[in-house]
Amino acid sequence: MAETTIQHDLVVKLEPQDGYLAAQDRIRFPQPVAAHESELTFTLNAGMVPVVDPPARLVASDRYLQEPATFIRYTVILPKGAPGLTLRYQGRLAQRPADTERSAPVEDLFTAGHIGPEGVYLSGASHWFPRIDNGLVSFSLEVDLPTGWTAVSQGKRSVGESRSARSVDRWVEDQPQDDIMLVANRFHVYQRDTRHAGAYAFLLRPERALAHRYLEATARYVDLYTRLIGPYPYAKFALVENFRETGYGFPSFTLLGSRVIRLPFIIHTSYPHEILHNWWGNGVYVDYASGNWSEGLTAYLADYLIREERGQGVEYRRSALQKYRNYVGQEQDFALGEFRAKHGEASEAVGYNKALMFFHMLRRRLGERVFIDGLRRFYTEQRFRVAGYSDLQAAFEAESGLELQQDFDQWVSRVGAPTLHVRDVHVRETAGGYQLTARLEQSQDDPAYRLQVPVAVQLEGRDDGLRHELLMSEKNLEVNLTFPTRPIRFAVDPEFDLFRRLDTAEIPPALGELFGSDQALFVLPAAAPDTLREAYRGLVSRFGAGRVITDTNAEPLPADRPVWILGWENRHRAALAHEFLAEDVSFEPQGVRIHGELRDRDEECVVLVARRDRGESAALAWIGCENPEAFAGLARKLPHYSKYGYLSFAGSEPANVLKGQWRVSASPLNVTLRPTPDNHPLRLEQRRSLIDTIDAP
HEC states along 271-324? HHHHHHCCCECCCEEECHHHCCCHHHHHHHHHHHHHHHHCCCHHHHHHHHHHHH
Neighbours of 86 (CB within 10 A): 15
DSSP classification of residue 131? B
Question: For 194, how many CA atoms within 13 A lie in the half-sphere containing its CB?
Answer: 25
Give the model's pLDDT for residue 105.
36
Q: Which residues contact 392 (CB under 8 A, 6 or more apart)?
A: 293, 374, 378, 408
The rounded distance, in Å, linking the Cα atoms of 157 and 202 is: 13
Strands (E), 147-294: 150-152, 156-162, 166-177, 182-185, 188-193, 198-203, 236-242, 247-250, 253-257, 285-286
Q: In terms of Cα–Cα distance, which of 80, 148, 82 is closest to 117? A: 148
Alpha-carbon distances, residue 386 vs 226, 254, 287, 290, 300 (angstroms): 20, 21, 5, 11, 20
Distance of alpha carbon 357 from alpha carbon 352, whole angstroms = 9
CA dihedral over 649, 315, 266, 636, signed as positive or negative: negative
Tens of pLDDT along 98-107?
443 333 333 3
Share of the chain above pLDDT 70, in %: 93
Query: In whole angstroms, what is the distance from residue 76 CA to residue 60 CA?
Result: 8
pLDDT for 82 equals 85
Using an 8 Å Cβ cutoff, are 567 and 524 in contact?
yes
CB-side neighbour CA atoms (13 Å) of 632: 3
CB contact at 8 A, 317 and 305:
no
How far is Cα 234 from Cα 181, in angstroms, rounded to an integer? 15
CA distances from 53 to 29, 30, 83, 133 (A): 16, 19, 13, 21
Of the listed ranges 57-61, 477-481, 524-528, the least confidently predicted one is 57-61
- 55 prior amide bond cis, ω within 30: yes
- 361 pLDDT above the threshold of 90: yes
Q: What is the pLDDT of residue 559?
A: 83
Q: What is the pLDDT of residue 66?
A: 67
- Flag whether pLDDT at 93 surpasses 90: yes
List, in sequence order, every beta strand (DSSP E) within 29-135. Answer: 38-45, 48-52, 57-66, 69-78, 84-91, 113-116, 119-122
Q: How confident is the model at residue 583 (pLDDT cuts 50, 70, 90)?
A: confident
Q: How many helices (H) and strands (E) does the chain have?
A: 16, 38
pLDDT for 466 beyond 50: yes
pLDDT at site 599:
96
Task: Give kind and range of the element (H or E) at residue 692.
Answer: helix 690-695
SS3 470: strand
Q: In this predicted structure, which of 447-451, 568-572, 675-679 has the lowest mean pLDDT?
A: 675-679
pLDDT at 123: 93
Q: If you ran DSSP here, which 8-state letter would residue 352 be given?
A: I
CA 175 centroid distance within chain: 26
Task: Judge whether 523 and 572 are in contact, CB under 8 Å.
Answer: yes
Between CA 40 and CA 87 the distance in angstroms is 13
Tell me what pLDDT residue 101 has. 38
Q: Give the number of other CB atoms < 10 A from CB of residue 616.
A: 12
Domains of the chain: 1-182 (2.60.40.1730), 285-413 (1.10.390.10), 420-504+670-674+681-691 (2.60.40), 512-660 (3.30.379)
**CA geometry: angle 505, 618, 646, nearest 5 deg:** 75
pLDDT digits (tens, 9 = 90+) for 128-183: 999 987 679 999 999 999 999 999 999 999 866 777 789 999 999 999 999 999 99
pLDDT per residue as tens digits for the range 26-78:
999 887 665 556 888 899 999 999 999 888 899 877 777 666 678 999 999 98
Mean pLDDT value across the chain? 91
Residue 139 main-chain phi, psi, to 5 deg:
-160, 160
pLDDT at 99: 41
What is the CA 188 to chain-centroid distance, rounded?
A: 29
Segment (H or E) for 538: helix 530-542
> CA dihedral in degrees (229, 233, 239, 241; nearest 10)?
-130
Q: Which of 263, 282, 283, 279 is nearest to 271 (CA)?
A: 263
Contact 136, 177 (CB under 8 A): yes
CB of 249 within 8 A of CB of 277? Answer: yes
> Going edge to edge, which strands form the sheet with 48-52?
48-52, 84-91, 20-28, 5-15, 136-146, 166-177, 156-162
Q: Is the pLDDT of residue 420 over 70?
A: yes
**Whether residue 229 has pLDDT greater than 50:** yes
Strand, coil or helix: what is 484?
Answer: coil
Counting beta carbons within 10 angstroms of the beta carbon of residue 428, is it exposed (0 to 12), middle (13 to 18) or buried (19 or more)? exposed
Which residues, in sequence order, are bridge partners of residue 120? 115, 184
Interatomic CA distance for residues 267 and 188, integer angstroms: 19
